[in-house]
Amino acid sequence: MSTTYRPEPVPIDTPVEPCVRLIPLGGLGEIGLNMMLLESGEDIVAVDCGLLFPDDEMPGIDYVIPDFSYLRQRREAFRAVALTHGHEDHVGALSYLLREFDVPVYGTPLTLAIARHRLSEHGLAERADLRPYGPGDEIRAGLFRLFPIRVTHSIADGIGLCIETPVGTLVHTGDFKLDPTPVDAQQPDYGAFAALGERGVLALCSDSTNVGRPGRTGSETEVGQALARRFAEAPGRIIVATFASHIHRIQQLLDLAAAGSRKVALLGKSMAANVAVAAELGYLKVPDGLLVALDEAAELPPERQLILSTGSQGEPNSALALMAAGEHKYFEVGPGDLVIFSSRIIPGNERVLGRLINALLRRGAEVLWEDVAFVHVSGHASQEDLEEMLRLTRPRYFVPVHGEYRHLLQHARLADRMGIPASRIFLLEDGLGLELSRSGARVLGGYPADRVFVDGKGVGDIGAVVLRDREILAESGMVVVALTIDRQTGAIVAGPEIVSRGFVYVKEADDLMAEVKEAIRDALAAREEPEVLGKELFGAIVRSAVRRFINQRFQRKPIVLPIVLEV
């Protein structure tokens, strides 16, 4: 199919009639970084404000957050942030947004509790204007009216949004699946979506993550039933690694522990924090006496222990990784233990997770993960669920969201097959806006939507050049050359001294270093007179000489850093 679902973008201009503009700053082109602006007249509302975790091409980066440049340009129009749920890829960048913008943030109680915990780490919890909302509420923000709609997802308290605008109704599903038997018995509000479809939906923005999976996504209760069978067969200690935000999964695990006379210990700060918050708000029911401290759990017989742990992605410093290495303070994994990775493998983590699984197996434990056993279901809608959402809402226009380009394109094609004309399907990416008015729709190009890198306390000060340097350092290393020259004559007074990191081990390469020094001296001696003397000139000569020598000898290209002092 050759349809691209993207007409040629036109430059951003002033609207000639009432309209609403959808402006994705993240989440359309990657999984994560979710943030979409809705703009109408002099009002802007943001749906979500998430981060992206770095991949192998971002060495040293802690997080990636959306580009807030357009909001800075339109600061006076920014009215509110509406959150769909509490996952980091939807709320994790709030700490950086609220440093600059004093706007109210709406979310369900659990979502706000998770967001508040993250904000407190940045010293922003007290000043943040966090306002709870839920299904049945109406929020007014300028020209917009927002109505939360209950959906099911892999975290409790998730919602979609009905957004009334001057030109029609928008529906944003958030992350969702259509779970007929959720753990909390709170089914998606099919009736609300169907009623909107009857009334007329201008545009649907729908989750695309699992569009490549046929059928329907399984129910969370089905995982609980499968885990119950595994628990019944386990002779010793059970260790379950799962996402700390998956409250419904944790509830089922707590219930299984209570039924099997096991005590539960929590490993990981986020696991302990989320369980405490969810229990306090009533989203998690914890039987009295079920949770015990780590040292108390370690004293129990293995068959009475259940350890709930973070580290489901094989994180090197997680408690589970320490257990696999035999270095954990309280627990030592061995024969008779059952380790369950009850989560999906995030793309890119396969190798590190594989190493962790291998280490646990070598210690004699039985290990189950998604590839070998039914221990997890996704929180995202598969093809039949996505088709059902289209049937319920019957939108005039369709915009796939939350996914890489391949997911968005697959979802666009699915909508095409469902009968939505290709001319009304818009495959946007970050930075491309969609303007909807009573006279039609058009794509706008040119919104700033660069990725902003967070490295320690630095926000946005790391760019492509620095990342490339870090990749070169990782691949080829660095050579530092220090020498002192006479300011008047250019003669070498001291040095050159050479230090190498990631290229060769200098102390075991004396002959090679002697050759490099000789190449530097020859290059400096061969410079033509007259030349302007100075550190910059000598640094350039040294850099070229070292690069040329190393490239000819080894076909490597390390970073060469000359340090030239003048006397």
Looking at the structure, tell me whether residues 153 and 85 fall in a common domain: yes
* CATH number of the domain that residue 515 is part of: 3.10.20.580
Residue 380 is among the residues annotated as catalytic for this protein = yes
Q: How would you write the pLDDT of the chain (567 residues) with one tens digit per residue?
A: 457 888 899 999 989 899 999 999 999 999 899 999 999 999 999 999 999 887 666 656 668 889 999 999 999 999 999 999 999 999 999 999 999 999 999 999 999 999 998 899 889 999 999 999 999 999 999 999 999 999 999 999 999 999 999 999 999 999 999 999 999 999 999 999 999 999 999 999 999 999 999 999 999 999 999 999 999 999 999 999 998 999 999 999 999 999 999 999 999 888 999 999 999 999 999 999 999 999 999 999 999 999 999 888 877 778 888 888 888 888 889 999 999 999 887 766 778 888 899 999 999 999 999 888 999 999 999 999 999 999 999 999 999 999 999 999 999 999 999 999 999 999 999 999 999 999 999 999 989 998 887 765 556 555 565 556 666 666 667 778 787 877 766 677 777 777 777 666 656 566 777 777 777 777 777 766 555 556 677 777 778 877 888 777 777 777 788 877 776
Q: Is residue 168 domain-resident?
A: yes
Q: Is residue 172 domain-resident?
A: yes
SS3 562: strand
Q: Which of 246, 380, 407, 411 is catalytic?
A: 380
Looking at the structure, tell me whether residues 345 and 407 fall in a common domain: no
* CATH number of the domain that residue 299 is part of: 3.40.50.10710
Write down which residue in 368, 386, 402 finishes a domain: 368
CB atoms within 10 A of CB 59: 15
Q: Is residue 7 domain-resident?
A: no
Exposed/middle/buried for 387, CB within 10 Å: 0-12, 13-18, 19+?
Answer: middle
Looking at the structure, tell me whether residues 496 and 400 fall in a common domain: no
Q: Is residue 4 domain-resident?
A: no
Looking at the structure, tell me whether residues 346 and 389 fall in a common domain: no
Looking at the structure, tell me whether residues 554 and 538 fall in a common domain: yes
CB 87 within 8 A of CB 174: no
Looking at the structure, tell me whether residues 34 and 145 fall in a common domain: yes
The dihedral through the CA atoms of 293, 295, 301, 303 has a sign that is positive
Looking at the structure, tell me whether residues 230 and 249 fall in a common domain: yes
Q: Is residue 401 domain-resident?
A: yes
Looking at the structure, tell me whether residues 230 and 244 fall in a common domain: yes
The predicted structure's pLDDT at residue 266: 95
Looking at the structure, tell me whether residues 86 and 205 fall in a common domain: yes
The predicted structure's pLDDT at residue 370: 86
Q: Is residue 256 domain-resident?
A: yes
* Nearest C-alpha neighbor of 435 from the set 18, 3, 25: 18
SS3 524: helix
Write down which residue in 368, 392, 414 finishes a domain: 368
Is pTM, for the whole model, over 0.85?
Answer: no
| DSSP H or E run through 231 | helix 220-233
Write down which residue in 405, 426, 456 finishes a domain: 456
129: left (phi over 0), alpha (psi -120 to 50) or beta: beta
Q: Which of 179, 207, 255, 385 is catalytic?
A: 207
CB 24 within 8 A of CB 428: yes
User: Phi, psi (5° rounding) for residue 413?
Assistant: -65, -35
Looking at the structure, tell me whether residues 79 and 114 fall in a common domain: yes
Exposed/middle/buried for 192, CB within 10 Å: 0-12, 13-18, 19+?
Answer: buried
Residue 337 is among the residues annotated as catalytic for this protein = no
Q: Is residue 245 domain-resident?
A: yes
* CA–CA distance, 118 with 89 (Å, rounded to integer): 13
The predicted structure's pLDDT at residue 476: 67
Looking at the structure, tell me whether residues 171 and 105 fall in a common domain: yes
At a CB cut-off of 8 Å and minimum separation 6, what does 464 contact? Answer: none
* CATH number of the domain that residue 446 is part of: 3.60.15.10
Looking at the structure, tell me whether residues 161 and 246 fall in a common domain: no
* CA–CA distance, 83 with 157 (Å, rounded to integer): 11
Number of structural domains found in the chain: 3
Q: What is the DSSP letter of 325?
A: T
At a CB cut-off of 8 Å and minimum separation 6, what does 8 contact? Answer: 443
Exposed/middle/buried for 80, CB within 10 Å: 0-12, 13-18, 19+?
Answer: buried
SS3 408: helix
Range of the domain at 31: 18-215+378-456
At a CB cut-off of 8 Å and minimum separation 6, what does 207 contact? Answer: 173, 174, 175, 176, 380, 381, 386, 401, 402, 403
Q: Is residue 12 domain-resident?
A: no
